[in-house]
Every structure is written in structure tokens, then in C-alpha cells.
Amino acid sequence: MIIPTIGDMLRAHERIKPHIHKTPVLTSSYFNELTGAELFFKCENFQKAGVFKARGASNAVFSLGNDMLEKGVATHSSGNHALSLSYAAGRRGIPCTVVMPRTAPQAKKDAVKGYGGRIIECEPSTSSREAVFAEVVAETGAEFVHPYNDHRVIAGQGTCSNELLKQVEGLDAVIAPIGGGGMVSGTCLTLSNLAPEVKIYAAEPEQADDAMRSFKAGHIIADDAPETIADGLKVPLKDLTWHFVSNHVSDILTVSEQEIIDAMKLIWKRMKIVMEPSSAVPLAAIIKNKDTFAGKRVGIIITGGNVDLDLLPWLKN
Amino acid sequence: MIIPTIGDMLRAHERIKPHIHKTPVLTSSYFNELTGAELFFKCENFQKAGVFKARGASNAVFSLGNDMLEKGVATHSSGNHALSLSYAAGRRGIPCTVVMPRTAPQAKKDAVKGYGGRIIECEPSTSSREAVFAEVVAETGAEFVHPYNDHRVIAGQGTCSNELLKQVEGLDAVIAPIGGGGMVSGTCLTLSNLAPEVKIYAAEPEQADDAMRSFKAGHIIADDAPETIADGLKVPLKDLTWHFVSNHVSDILTVSEQEIIDAMKLIWKRMKIVMEPSSAVPLAAIIKNKDTFAGKRVGIIITGGNVDLDLLPWLKN
């Protein structure tokens, strides 16, 4: 296990600056009144590839040695990491192979291809995915970039809070959604070193509350197959992200599916931004725990904006 | 007819600055590649009340003399002007009365009330609206603020381009949607004085193309009841807006309903912003007329973001 340092994060930031957006911070008098807190929305939905993961993926891709450039990178993902790694590899002009279940939505396959990624299909099972992925790595010699349990990825995600600290003075807390813990770990890395007075909160769906239960138990608990509309948050913590979460997070708050949908729709309506269900989880947690945040200056990471506009959750009924 | 001057616009900007957002300008490498132009999206969907009309309404409200403060302002509108005038009146702490058809959506009534406006209902007919509005003015003595055919309103809308000129250097053109012509007139006022080298285009739905036909004919043609999903663009030009449009606009481009819907969905998907059908009309026109804009630096006014999230046009079928 390689634990990234604050120096790694700062070097990552210099490395990836030409390839990512410095995303804007939006405020909303409506949400400030609603919550009693002063909220600063860090809009990673406006990030390259539509998600914060472009940061970590870019850092992994642009820190590869010259000997790896022909072999490229590979991963297995049907989501935002596949997009982000394809984006970053495209920027560097190296191959990117993504193993994806053949049942994944065509729109996601098209998006990966749009960024120049090569898709190898597997059956929708863990055994098939692992077998196909092993073949891909054996054949290509590509570097595996894990979506979150990777020191380069975490150092890259930490650049988000590094920007936020320069954009907003006097923060009392930062809150981000937690799935595998990549964004939260990067946030911990940056804040624990550069602004240790800022409290770090994570927010999670009740229906995928393995991070909260791990946090209470003191060791990783991995659910098998949680179901939530916040589909980026179904994956479990791993050793590297557990290191950061267990050492630096103040609390993990959970919210119901309906609370996520309500917060998501309210953000779209009042702030006029498109963001994923996962990104609504922190605001839902603040609305549910007003006393914890009232009177505080709170950064909220809006993690991504890749949502299927034909399947909005408040229209499902 | 009082024609506002560039001095009026500059004084309006000083007057309303505490009450409006200086809205951000977003760019998109995706849309630059798609169109061959360099596009700068001026995001008035992030404006107070969710729409550029907060500028003109604020200027009208904050330039009222002290003798009018008790009587307040009034208008008839079931849309963005009603919201914006209620917002501005609320900021100044004066009464705002809005005459609205009793059949208007409850959500719009609630939004006006949310900003502190008082609603007087009329029947959904022009005769009822005029009769009820005349009663309201007789009873309250309130100042009528027309949605666009008003020199204070046009001077206020002109502050949008005044910001844009400082945010983006070397613009070749600016394009905005046209309904009654308030935003386009404000744009003409500012650019013809401060940056006369910048061409001004207007964009309109084919199904509500009265401005284009007026432009070609050389006099105002008012359609009776055009039908388009770009519901902010159904109203006709009036003498004051015709003055600006006929003198300063280079061309008026039209697009079909499907082209509006496609452009709207594509903006949501790629730029992660929520905006109204009306706001998609200019980008649809650029996509349809690539040769006119290729190689140019073009400002696009995203006029507003007040859309019913339960009734998105691409989900209607």
C-alpha cells in the first residue's frame, strides 16, 4: 500500500492543470436560508468528462513512465472512471482499454468510445470480468488504474479541495459523497495537511451504508450488492481509502432514496445545474442534519453531472 | 416613446449591481468542435429569479421616485417578468401586484408568491386581463412596468452585454433569442455604442417567426397566437424594441421545434446546465447556420433557467 503524501498531491496538481478545469464554486441564497449554513458548491459536474474522476485519472495517466506509453492503461468500469481514464489517455495519446459488461447501456459505451477508449465486452458477472480483464492485461501489458484504491488517483482527487481552499476562505467543513472513498480520501489528504481545522464529513445512501457501518465498526465492511439510485456509491472501501477515512473523517451521514431524489430535484430547480444522484447526497445530509451545519461555512463537492436525461428519478413513478 | 441612451444603461448597471449576479461565462470544447466557432455562453440562467429579466425589472424598481414607493409596481404576466418584478420589488420592500390568469400553473403562482408578489387572478382572456389590470392600477396607483417595451427595462437588459464585453475579448458576434425583443434591444443599446464592430444576431422559433417577418418587411408584424415550446418567445415586437431591432440587428435566424429540443437536450447533457427551451434557440441557429459563425468568437445569451422539471420536452412522446 502506497500512501500518497501532500507533496504527491501538489505535484499532481501541477501535472494535471493543463488537462482539467478549475471548476467554479457556486452559492445559493435559497439553500443558505433553507439550511442555516453558508454553502459553497464546488461544481465538479463541470469538470472534464463531467466528473471529478478526470483529476485522478489524469494524474495516473500523466505520471506514467515513457516505457508504458505504447502499452497504455486499462481498467474495468461501466461508469465515470471508464470515461475519465479514456479522456486522460486520449489527452496523452496513449491506448486505453476498458472492460465493460456487454449489458452496459449503449450511451455509456458510446461515451467511452467518444473519448477514444477501446471497449472489450465481458459477461455481466464478476468471474467473467476478472477473466477478461486478466486477458486484456496479459495481451496489452497495460497499466491497471483502479478507480479509487490507487495512490495516484487519490493524489489527483485531492486537487479538488486544493482549489476549493483558494476559492473560499474560512471554511469550517467540507462534505462529499462516499462510495469507494476516492474523493473523500483526496479531500482528507489535502485538508488534513493544509487546513486541519476544517472538518471532513462524508455522506452516503442508507441503502448503501457500508462506509458508515465500517466507520462505526472500525474495520472495512463490504456489502455484496447494494441498490441505490446513487449508482456511483455502490462500491466498497478498500485498504488505501480506509486509511484516510478512518483517520480523518469526522462523521458519515446517511440519507434515504427519497431524500436524495428530493435534494437532487431541488438543486436542479434552484441552482440550474445538472448533476448526478450521487452529488445530491451531501446536500440531503445537510438538510437532514441542520444542527450540525447551521452557522458554518461548508464546502459541498458536487461530484459529477453524468446522468441519463431520459431517466430522471423523479419521473420514474 | 423614450429611447434609452448608453448613459441610461451605465447608470442602470451601477443601480442594480447590488441586486443582480454578475453571471459566469462558460465555454465548451465539445460545442466549439461541433460548430467550428468559439462560443461563449453568458449564463443568465444563473441570474437572480433564474432569468435575465431580473436586470430590467431591478432597474425599473430601483429608479422609482420616493413618491411611488407606497404604491409600488404592477404588471400582467404569467412568466419570467412576473417573477423578476416580484423579486426586484421584494428587494426594495415595495408592493408588487401581478395580474395572472387563474389557469396559470400553480408552480408559477407559488414562485411569484415566494418572491413576495401579490397575485390578482383574471380569466384567461385578453379582455378580462385588461379589465382586471385597469382595476388594479386604479385601486393601487401602482407603476406599470411592461415586460419589454419600457426604456428602464431595456437599459437594464443592456447590462448583460456590458458584463460580457468585459468577460470576453474580441467578440465577433452576439446572438440572443427574440420574443418581444427586450434582451435583443438591450444588447443593441450596449454593443452599438461600446463595441459597434460586434455583429448582433437574433434567433427565433419558426413557429413564432413574427420578428423575422417584421425584419424582412420593414415594419412590425404581430402574430395572434403563435405556438412554440419556447414559451418566452411568443410575444410580438413593440415600437421601442422595433427601433433597436430594425436599426442594429444583422439578421434573424429561425429554427424548428425539433431543432430547439435537440439543442436544449445537448446543452444539458454536455454543459450540465439547466436552461429553458427559449435559451436553446440561439445555439440551434448556430448549428443550423455553421457557415455564418465558423471561425468567429460568438457570445450566446443563455436567457433563463425556469423550466418545469416534470415536463421536459424530450420526454413528451
Give the tens place of pLDDT for each residue, A138-171.
Answer: 999 999 999 999 999 999 999 999 999 999 999 9
Task: Say whether both A37 and A166 belong to one domain.
Answer: yes
Non-local CB neighbours of B24 within 8 Å, separated by 6+ positions: A24, B43, B46
Which residue's entry shows cell 427595462?
B153
Q: Which three cell numbers stand for residue A10?
A: 501538489
Note whether residue B1 is domain-resident: no
Of A144, A174, A207, the residue at which a domain comes to its end is A144
Mutate which of B21, B30, B45, B272 to disrupt the A interface (most A C-beta within 10 Å)? B272
pLDDT at A133 over 60: yes
Instruction: Tell me the pLDDT tens digit for each residue of B67-85.
Output: 999 999 999 987 899 999 9
Task: Say whether both B121 and B186 belong to one domain.
Answer: no
Percentage, residues of chain B above pLDDT 90? 89
Note whether residue A23 is domain-resident: yes
Task: Say whether both A37 and A182 belong to one domain.
Answer: yes
pLDDT confidence of B26, banded at 50, 70, 90?
very high
B→A interface, C-beta within 8 Å: 24, 26, 45-46, 50, 265, 268-269, 271-275, 305, 309-310, 312, 314-315
Task: Say whether both B37 and B137 belong to one domain.
Answer: no
Distance from CA of B166 to the nearest CA of A (A): 18
Non-local CB neighbours of A162 within 8 Å, separated by 6+ positions: A9, A10, A13, A190, A194
* ipTM given for this complex: 0.93
pLDDT confidence of A172, banded at 50, 70, 90?
very high
pLDDT confidence of B132, banded at 50, 70, 90?
very high
pLDDT at B16: 98
By residue range, what is the domain housing residue A101?
54-144
Cβ distance of A268 and B275 shorter than 8 Å: no
For A97-112, b/e burial (b = at least 16 CB within 10 A) is bbbbeeebeeebbebb
Instruction: Tell me the pLDDT tens digit for each residue of B263-273.
Output: 999 999 999 99
Cβ distance of A46 and B272 shorter than 8 Å: yes
Task: Say whether both A300 and A179 belong to one domain.
Answer: yes
Which of A46, A50, A272 minimises the CB distance to B274?
A272
pLDDT averaged over every residue in chain B:
95
**Residue B139 exposed, middle or buried by CB count within 10 Å (0-12, 13-18, 19+):** exposed
Q: Say if residues B157 and B52 touch (Cβ distance below 8 Å).
A: yes
Q: Which three cell numbers stand for residue B1?
A: 416613446
Cβ distance of A309 and B309 shorter than 8 Å: no
Q: Which three cell numbers stand for residue B149?
A: 417595451
Question: What's the CATH number where B64 sits?
Answer: 3.40.50.1100
Note whether residue A88 is domain-resident: yes
Task: Say whether both A200 and A309 belong to one domain.
Answer: yes
**Distance between CA atoms of B275 and B306, rounded to whole angstroms?**
7
Task: Say whether both B170 and B131 belong to one domain.
Answer: no
Average pLDDT over residues B90-95: 97
Mutate which of A272, A303, A306, A311 to disrupt the B interface (most B C-beta within 10 Å)? A272
Which of A269, A272, A314 minimises the CB distance to B273?
A272
**Distance between CA atoms of A156 and A135, rounded to whole angstroms?**
28
Q: Say if residues B277 and B231 touch (Cβ distance below 8 Å).
A: yes
A88 CA to centre of own chain: 15
Distance set, CA B238 to CA A180, A303, B206, B245 (Å): 58, 46, 19, 10
Cβ distance of B273 and A275 shorter than 8 Å: no
Task: Say whether both B172 and B310 belong to one domain.
Answer: yes
Note whether residue A1 is domain-resident: no
Average pLDDT over residues A173-194: 98
When divided into structural domains, chain A yields a total of 2
Note whether residue B130 is domain-resident: yes
pLDDT at A224: 72
Percentage, residues of chain A above pLDDT 90? 89
pLDDT at A295 over 70: yes
Cβ distance of A272 and B268 shorter than 8 Å: no
Distance from CA of B271 to the nearest CA of A (A): 7
Cβ distance of A268 and B274 shorter than 8 Å: yes
Compute the count of residue pairs across chains A and B with CB atoms less than 8 Å apart: 43
pLDDT at A223: 76
Task: Say whether both A136 and A166 belong to one domain.
Answer: no
pLDDT at B147: 95
pLDDT at B105: 81
Note whether residue B32 is domain-resident: yes
Using DSSP's 3-state secondary structure scheme, residue A155 falls into helix
Of B113, B144, B175, the residue at which a domain comes to its end is B144
Using DSSP's 3-state secondary structure scheme, residue B200 falls into strand
Note whether residue A234 is domain-resident: yes
Of A144, A162, A192, the residue at which a domain comes to its end is A144
Note whether residue A229 is domain-resident: yes
pLDDT at B126 over 90: no
pLDDT confidence of B53, banded at 50, 70, 90?
very high
pLDDT at B177: 98
Using DSSP's 3-state secondary structure scheme, residue B144 falls into strand
Minimum mean pLDDT range among A222-231, B130-139, B213-222 = A222-231
Which of A50, A265, A312 minimises the CB distance to B272?
A50
Task: Say whether both B25 and B73 belong to one domain.
Answer: no
Average pLDDT over residues A231-257: 96
pLDDT at A4: 98
Which of B269, B274, B314 minimises the CB distance to A273?
B274
Instruction: Tell me the pLDDT tens digit for each residue of A65-86.
Output: 999 999 999 999 878 999 999 9
Using DSSP's 3-state secondary structure scheme, residue B180 falls into coil
Instruction: Please give the residue of chain B at the shortest CA–CA distance from A272.
Output: B274
Instruction: Tell me the pLDDT tens digit for each residue of B148-181.
Output: 999 999 999 999 999 999 999 999 999 999 999 9
pLDDT confidence of A98, banded at 50, 70, 90?
very high
In the chain, the amino acid numbered A140 is T
**Distance between CA atoms of B35 and B76, rounded to whole angstroms?**
39
Distance from CA of B43 to the nearest CA of A (A): 10
Longest dimension (CA), chain B: 57
Nearest to B26 by CA among A23, A55, A302, A308: A23
Cβ distance of A314 and B312 shorter than 8 Å: no
Rounded to 5 degrees, φ, ψ at B25 are -110, 120
Cβ distance of A273 and B275 shorter than 8 Å: no
pLDDT at B104 over 90: no
Distance from CA of B265 to the nearest CA of A (A): 8
pLDDT confidence of A107, banded at 50, 70, 90?
confident
Q: Say if residues B34 and B106 touch (Cβ distance below 8 Å).
A: no
Task: Say whether both A231 and A128 belong to one domain.
Answer: no
pLDDT at B125: 85
Average pLDDT over residues A267-294: 97
Instruction: Tell me the pLDDT tens digit for each residue of B188-199.
Output: 999 999 999 999
Residues of chain A with Cβ-Cβ distance to B312 below 8 Å are 309, 312
pLDDT confidence of A95, banded at 50, 70, 90?
very high
Average pLDDT over residues A9-34: 97
Instruction: Tell me the pLDDT tens digit for each residue of B197-235.
Output: 999 999 999 999 999 999 999 999 987 778 999 988 999
Task: Say whether both B230 and B106 belong to one domain.
Answer: no
